């Protein structure tokens, strides 16, 4: 049996320190639970390189059993665009920035929020209120899992 080609999902937000790292972790965990062939990455349209995840987002990820403590931000590059099968963005302005900088990526870009009944997933960064980070994480769980449930199945072959 030939090896299964994994789905390659790229999650994109502004600075790659809140929403996209958590979405990446959710997708990684969900794929592992279901033994699905999925590879995930994240980046930011205005990210500075090598920044840690926001402390309150690290805390929110821990609530779901995730760990983004080792995450370091990555500015969006052509290599990310070429690598990805699907590019899932948090806001319309992220989609616009990608389409402007990488015109060939147009058909890969999707609004992640639409898989949870919303258009955009608001950025909690800078809020003094932890519940905004928790709410964002909860929205991301719903959106990422719903999106992934709609992908064509690509199960990982069981070991022989």
The catalytic residues are: 13, 19, 123
Pairwise CA distance, residues 63 & 48, whole Å:
26
Neighbours of 77 (CB within 10 A): 12
- Summarize the chain as % helix, strand, coil (round to 5): 45, 15, 40
- CB neighbour class for 3 (10 Å; exposed up to 12, middle 13-18, buried from 19): exposed
Question: Pairing relation of β-strands 38-44 and 86-89?
Answer: unpaired
């Amino acid at each position: 049996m030939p090896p299964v080609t994994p789905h390659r999902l790229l999650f994109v937000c502004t600075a790659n320190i809140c929403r996209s790292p958590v979405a990446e972790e959710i997708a990684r965990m969900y794929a592992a639970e279901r033994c699905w062939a999925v590879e995930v990455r994240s980046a930011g349209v205005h990210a500075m390189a090598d920044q840690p995840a926001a402390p309150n987002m690290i805390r929110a990820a821990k609530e779901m059993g995730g760990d983004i403590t080792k995450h370091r931000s990555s500015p969006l590059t052509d290599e990310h665009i070429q690598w990805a099968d699907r590019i899932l963005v948090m806001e319309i302005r992220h989609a616009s920035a990608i389409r402007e900088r990488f015109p060939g990526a147009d058909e890969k870009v999707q609004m992640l929020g639409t898989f949870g009944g919303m258009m955009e997933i608001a950025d909690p960064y800078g809020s003094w209120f932890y519940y905004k980070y928790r709410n964002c994480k909860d929205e991301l769980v719903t959106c990422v899992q719903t999106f992934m449930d709609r992908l064509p199945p690509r199960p990982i072959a069981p070991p022989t």
